[in-house]
Each structure stands twice: as C-alpha cells, then as structure tokens.
Amino acid sequence: MELLEDFANIIKPLLQLDPLNFCGTYSSHILLGELQGYRALEIDFDTVYRLVYRIYEKPSPRCIVILSFGEHDPAYEKAKQRKKK
C-alpha cells in the first residue's frame, strides 16, 4: 500500500514533470534490444522494482506510456510481451 501511495504522490508527478531525470530523485536509463526506445526507472523499495515506460513528445502534448511495473526480471518480461501486442 505504501508503494502505491509513493507512486501516486511522488513518482507519478516526477514522471510527468521530468521523465528523463526525475529531478535527480530517481535513476532511469535507456533500454536496448527488444525494448529499444523505452526507458526503465529504478525504484528501490525494500525490493528493487522497475517501471518500464516510453516518452512520446509528438503529437503534442507529451504522452508517457507505462508498459510494466514490477520486480526487475518480471517487469522486463512483461514489457516485452506487451510491446508485441
């Protein structure tokens, strides 16, 4: 429950404001391979989670699509499955 509150109150606003750098609060990186063009946000909350997302600047306004959220490996596997659909 606390993780959901943190997402709603902290992560989501930062994702909307600064989806590349999260105002220096969280670490994100570009993904390669099957998920090229997507990014991963690392969230350390007792367990390390990944939020896999993509930023679309055009058409305006900017749109951020979240592909998956979960523990490291399952988050990437789910993102790959969803991308194929």
Domain assignments of the chain as residue spans, ordered by start: 2-84
The pLDDT of residue 27: 86
pLDDT single digits (tens) 50-83:
999 999 988 888 899 999 999 999 999 999 999 9
Per-residue confidence (pLDDT) for residue 49, from 0 to 100: 92
Over 80: is that where the pLDDT of 85 sits? no
Q: Which long-range contacts (CB under 8 A, 24 or more apart) does 29-34 make?
A: 34/80, 34/83
Give the tens place of pLDDT for each residue, 21-39: 988 988 899 999 999 999 9
